[in-house]
A and B are shown apart, each in its own frame.
Chain A
Amino acid sequence: MKLAYWMYAGPAHIGTLRVASSFKKVHAIMHAPLGDDYFNVMRSMLERDRDFTPVTASVVDRHVLARGSQEKVVENIIRKDREEKPDLVILTPTCTSSILQEDLQNFVNRASIETESDVLLADVNHYRVNELQASDRTLEQIVTFYMDKAQSENNVAKIKTIKPSVNILGSVSLGFHNQHDISEMKRLFQDLDIQINQIIPENASVEDLKKLPSAWFNFVPYRETGLMTARYLEQQFSMPYIDITPMGIVQTANCIRSIQELLNKLGTTVDYEKYIDEQTRFISQSAWFSRSIDCQNLTGKKAIVFGDATHAAAMTKILHQEMGIHVAWCGTYCKYDEEWFKGQVQEFCDEVIISDDHGLIGDLIAKTEPSAIFGTQMERHIGKRLNIPCGVISSPVHIQNFPLSYRPFLGYEGTNQIADLVYNSFTLGMEDHLLEIFGGHDTTEALSVGISADDSISWSSEAQKELSKIPGFVRGKVKRNTEKFARDRSKNLITLEVMYEAKEKVSS
């Protein structure tokens, strides 16, 4: 058992449902107790989905516990087949159903005799994989199923398109800024004169999966979902894939260059250098922004980065390479992807943290005291408590990170968005100076915000007043330092004298 109240990645079935419900005309049936259909709430609220989420439960109740599901699951599959006429029904086990050890595959086999739609059992182990791994696996499973089917019917579209073309793999609902990213990717490929063959799974039809092999190559924007499918297609149909996330100026250029190299190898001649140059210097604002004097103020500022593997790695590179920001540490909760992550970021930060324990991350942030945090919803709240600004760069996120306006993180427009996010997260340069010179925005009764580890230390009213004059973004730090200083010397009242003494000792 593990004591926990927050997790970065959800349970496996969430990953399966995200993939299944992203396809058109695919219905997922969860073998789950009442109340486990919370996924529908998230889809409906976070994504503000206008349509009913194609997920229902075959409810596991006390009777099922006593007698087994018997006909229930089969009947529910057949019923959904009649009601919704989906192309595919995916039976999704949950943590509860997996310990019941019923032969769900048998139910699937029996149901599929009577259904028009195909029926699949999601192949994920709840106690071994998380949401992200499960989504990767489910996508591969569905693609494999339909490729096998097409092959047995001799129906695979193997002839390549005349013009260079690409499949984008891993566009999934409830993904972080996913829809905007995909729009941006479409634009990018259009600029590069590369035809888009298919985008899966969001809004795709399973019937079209047999046409996947007619693309020249596959593109996997996020490491978390799509890699397994890309590898499968490479193995079965010799389709190469690109898995460089085009996030940030440098990475976008790298990504485009590898596409160029790939296409040239495949027998066409393309030269994207001019495009990269034009986009970087004149279309995107962020490269110029990095060079502009305003951005000088960011030089050497301390930040930390935490999130999923894709976003945390890309963000670390951007901060270090493109903005001259000092990344004290960067980390990911994708523990299963540790090796790749370390390889990517090692040279861009002082330390790499691999953990899914939010308590540890919170403690590390408090210890590091960065000027800004780039993390998930959790780090945003840690930042709030410590009075450190935070830019959200990765799932898990809340509803405010499903913006209505166009906010990609990928491609050239993505670089603009990220530059804004970074810049706005740090206290603005000139304001920073002015605050230091004039002692804060509000010199009247400002609050002394900050977390104190120990309440036994009190502040004299003069010291309290002095503390309130210190600008907000460093006030917490000064307070903690002073208290630590006092505690180390067993003083339990902080007077002006103690405060100044601390300032001298600590800063020297």
Chain B
Amino acid sequence: MSKVQSDAITFECETGNYHTFCPISCVSWLYQKIEDSFFLVIGTKTCGYFLQNAMGVMIFAEPRYAMAELEEGDISAKLNDYGELRRLCLQIKKDRNPSVIFWIGTCTTEIIKMDLEGIAPKLEAEIRVPIVVARANGLDYAFTQGEDTVLAAMAQRCPYSDRNPAVVHDEVSSHIPLVLFGSLPDPVATQLAIELKKQGVSVAGWLPSKRYTELPVIKEGYYVAGVNPFLSRTATTLMRRRKTKLIGAPFPIGPDGTRAWIEKICSVLHIKPVGLADREKAIWDSLEDYISLIRGKSVFFMGDNLLEVSLARFLIRCGMTVYEIGIPYMDKRYQAAELALLKTTCDEMNVMMPTIVEKPDNYNQVDRIRDLKPDLVITGMAHANPLEARGINTKWSVEFTFAQIHGFTNSRDILELVTRPLRRNLSLSELGWDVYSKQV
């Protein structure tokens, strides 16, 4: 295990032998977010099998996504990629008439070097439906990073000027326009926009928008800010390709994160925030019933969705001790402000600074969990039941990506998730048994 010491935060890197979702899973929330889209995953049966099982019942609701399942003829190049994709996309256009088709490249298209980026513009011109290519494959990315690849590709499609200049915005903001990036459920996006509006910050647009046809204008010099920790490619694209300025802030997860996020945005826009301290305190007070359940308890993040640092920082502020922050990939630049807040939080709460383990090794982690006996392990479903059978409380990590966890309003939802196993197992304590495996 290689160790790097930087600014008193210990970063380690293991073997990368860990369980996570394939990044193509991002279609499950993105097709719902972008209402006029269609997602075509170009891959094999393995990809399809993952999607149909991971998405559960969503699959039966005629989702706006499908597999372009590669067959032997596609692999051996007996069939012509352009012709095949043309046939499928025309079918999709006829049946669903989407405003955009996303092509999700997979491991297989990488290995056989299918030139999706080359084919897309030609086909787009021919069938007159925009085609956006994102390579969300398991060779390069983990789980939520899939969204990052899609948003980075979409960033290039944002218009440079208003399509309809006649429309006059009812509110002329006093600052350089700010565009937020990251896919959030609509109510959460609205809540965050309202929080900013209270400070006199107006949000000029979101990437992604509700509809592809409503992508925000992004001009040189605009400010952008991310709402999720896994969006580093999107941030890079917005800075380098679209010449915007990134506001590097902690992420609006937990009342502490939300306040820091707003404060950072305000400071960049030269606005003095008002009432934030009171707002944060009121939220903390309202969380006390949940916090009292976890205060002084310990938690171990096995790592699979890149939300780990933000969640750990919030839980430390709640009074927990974090033993380990496993994380698939750590962009120290994009997450710099979040890492700094983590450090401050540890100092202020007077707890040890957790080790951040990139590309963790699940086998070694289970070993460490056996030694440390944490009160809670946040982990994927592959490990949850076996750990519970060994008397260890677990919370299934994927729920954090699907639940509403951003902003002041949703802090309670995070704790609802975190405390659920503790509350449940508390009520089972009368049962008298903790260990349900003979292996142990």
Contacts and interface: CB of A to CB of B under 8 A. Distances in A.
Main secondary structure of the interface of B (DSSP, over half): helix
A61 interface: yes
A33 B137 contact: yes
B386 A5 contact: no
Contact of B139 (A33, A48, A94): A33
Contacts of A35: 20-24, 50, 138, 142-143
B381 A45 contact: yes
Nearest to A79: B363
A128 interface: yes
Interface in B31-72: 42, 44-46, 48-54, 56-57, 59-60, 63, 65-72
A59 B16 CA distance: 8
Given A3-B66, A34-B16, A96 B48 contact: no
A434 interface: no
Contacts of A48: 385
A196 interface: no
A350 interface: no
Given A33-B137, A38-B50, A1 B111 contact: no
B46 A11 contact: yes
Main secondary structure of the interface of A (DSSP, over half): mixed
Interface stretch (B84-92, B204-212, B223-231, B259-267): B84-92
A65 B139 CA distance: 8
B288 interface: no
Contact of B385 (A49, A59, A60): A49
A95 B363 contact: no
Contact of A41 (B16, B17, B84, B380): B380
Most chain B CB within a 10 A radius of its CB, from A14, A53, A94, A95: A95
A10 B48 CA distance: 9
B252 to A, nearest CB: 27
Interface in B7-39: 16-24
B75 interface: yes
Interface residues of B, number: 67
A1 B84 contact: yes
Contacts of B381: 41, 44-45
Contacts, number: 167
B17 A2 contact: no
A50 interface: yes
A459 B71 CA distance: 46
Contact of B112 (A5, A38, A61, A99): A99
A38 B386 CA distance: 15
Interface centre among B23, B85, B382 (most CB of A within 10 A): B382
Interface string A27-45: 0000011111110111011
A57 B17 contact: yes
Interface in A118-158: 126-128, 130
A274 interface: no
B187 to A, nearest CB: 27
Contacts of B366: 52
A177 interface: no
Contacts of B46: 11, 13, 36, 94-96, 126
A4 interface: yes
Contacts of A130: 45
A54 to B, nearest CB: 11
Interface in B108-151: 108, 110-112, 137-143
Interface string A414-455: 000000000000000000000000000000000000000000
A60 B66 contact: no
Contacts of B138: 32-36, 96
| Nearest 10 pairs of A and B residues by beta carbon | A35-B22, A33-B138, A40-B382, A50-B389, A381-B60, A11-B45, A35-B138, A95-B44, A1-B84, A127-B72
28 contacts: A1-B42, A1-B68, A1-B71, A1-B88, A3-B66, A3-B68, A3-B69, A34-B20, A34-B22, A34-B142, A35-B20, A35-B21, A35-B22, A36-B50, A36-B138, A42-B53, A44-B381, A44-B384, A48-B385, A51-B386, A56-B363, A65-B110, A94-B46, A95-B108, A99-B75, A127-B72, A130-B45, A378-B60
